[in-house]
Amino acid sequence: MAWDVTVPDTSAESHVGDTATEAGAAANQAAANKIAKYDELASTHIFYPVAIETGGTWNHWAVELVQEIGRRVTLITGKPRESIFLFQQLSTAVQMGNAVASSTPLAIRRRCSHTLLSAMFKTCIFVLVGDK
């Protein structure tokens, strides 16, 4: 299983025309771009393109992945609310990235937002290792 996380800016000039008329348009386009980028990976891996807009909208593959990770964590811990907690943590990471974005230069913003979400998803890897 593999995934690639991206956080498109809901209000970016390149997205605002679509996101003004369709919720999740930037996330769906970003996910489609990831699928095209990793097309060859699909023959050997289950691939999830994870796109979460800065405005908070998730693409459906991101939701499916987090639900699956939460389900597997629940099997290990016996706590049924693991998916909810994971959604909350990832949403908080996006909000923290937004806070950084509003107060720092562009180069630092991109690095911080990517680092926050990467750290969150890396903590989930242990649940999936060794499972097909």
- pLDDT tens per residue, range 66-84: 999 899 989 999 999 999 9
Q: What is the pLDDT of residue 123?
A: 47
| Cα 7 to Cα 57: distance, rounded to the nearest angstrom | 10
Q: What is the pLDDT of residue 126?
A: 43
- pLDDT tens per residue, range 4-51: 888 888 888 888 888 888 888 999 999 999 999 999 988 898 899 999
Instruction: Quote the DSSP letter at residue 42.
Output: G
| Cβ pair 97, 116 in contact under 8 A | yes
